[in-house]
Amino acid sequence: MGHVDIIKRALNLFDKLIIAVAVNSAKDPVFSLSERMTMIQDTFKNEKRICVESVSGLLVDYAHAQNAKAIVRGIRAVSDFDYEFQLALMNRKLKREVDSVFLMPGFRWIYISSSIIKDASRNGGDVSDLVPEHVNKMLINKFKKNSTKKVS
C-alpha cells in the first residue's frame, strides 16, 4: 500500500498521472508486466486521472515524449535517497525539462518494501493488511503455484 499511498498523494499535486510500468533487467519480478499492469488498473479502476502504460527504454525519455513535467518517485529511507538522487541528476542531464519529485510514504508504510512483502507472502506470511485485497489474492495464488514445484 506504500505505492498506493504515493500515487494518491501525487494525485493531489498533479491533474493526471501516468503510471509507467517497465521491465527492469536487473530484477526478476514475481509477476509479469501484464499482471503488474492489471494489478495497478484494478487498484485505481475508479480514478479517471490515472493512465497505466507499459514502458521500455529510459523512463525520462518516455516522460518527455508524453510532455510530462515530472517523474514522481517514492523514497522510504536515506538508502533510497542516495540512488534516487543519482538517478534524478542523470535524468536532469538527459532531459532538463523533466523534474523529479520525491514523496515519502505515510509512516505506516515507511518500513515496507515490495521485496519484503513478496518474501513474507512467499513464506506463508499474512500480508493482507499491507496490499490491496486483489493483490493479496494474486500473491497467494502465485506462491501456491510455485510451492507445488519440486525442489531438487
What are the catalytic residues? Answer: 3, 27, 76, 114
Residue 40 to residue 10: CA distance in whole angstroms: 15
Instruction: Give the CA distances from residue 78 to residues 41, 67, 83, 123, in Å, rounded to whole numbers and listed in that order.
Output: 30, 30, 9, 28
Alpha carbon distance 62, 57 (integer Å): 8
Q: Do residues 3 and 117 touch, judged by C-beta distance below 8 A?
A: no
